[in-house]
Amino acid sequence: MKTITLAFTGASGLPYGMRLLECLLQSGQRVHLVYSQAAQIVAKQEMDFVLPSRPQDAEQMLSERFGKFSGDLKVFGIQDWFAPMASGSNPGDAMVVCPCTMGTLGKIAGGISDDLIARSADVMLKEKRALILVPRETPFSSIHLENMLKLSHAGAVIMPPNPGFYHHPQSVQDTVDFVVARLMDHLGLEQRLMKKWGE
């Protein structure tokens, strides 16, 4: 069982994050989830459901939404400075910010750790753990690109949710699964969402 910190921010693309959460839990991982207030707005807009403000309520709602799973889910408030991933003494194995706003990406690039998402990402970088950012924006400005390059040099993986089409997707869900499959691959976790190239 790996411990994965998963963060949702206010960029469009929450279906990617929710599907990743589902896959992580179904594959038996321990997930530490944190999300911004803007992500709560996006959840209502894009997926027509409410992400509760209270972590305990969120855990219950998500457990009911996904049904039985072998993993472990713990939700933390965005200002919970006692969360395990806020310290380099307990960073977990990897972190994914999916979707990632340009504002969050910029804060991480600048070392501005003013909430649990940015602090957790800062911890992952300083502890040399896997940090994957999924920026959902188009087009990218020069500032966005410079921040992404800075983070890439610092060890982060920048993975915009750009689905391929060589697997002949038949639905929006197929394109979501393509991106989530690549994320699972980069986390070193088995996935059955799509076949690997050449198989």
Q: Domains, the chain, ranges and CATH?
A: 3-186 (3.40.50.1950)
> Distance (Å, rounded) from C-alpha 75 to C-alpha 53?
10
Would you tell me how many other CB atoms lie within 10 Å of the CB of residue 157? 16
Interhelix angle 116-126/102-110, rounded to 10 degrees, is 50
pTM above 0.75, yes or no: yes
Q: What is the pLDDT along the chain (199 residues), one digit of tens a residue?
A: 999 999 999 999 999 999 999 999 999 999 999 999 999 999 999 999 999 999 999 999 999 999 989 999 999 999 999 999 999 999 999 999 999 999 999 999 999 999 999 999 999 999 999 999 999 999 999 999 999 999 999 999 999 999 999 889 999 999 999 999 999 999 999 998 988 887 7
The tokens of 153 are what?
Answer: 């040099």
Q: Which amino acid is at 193?
A: L
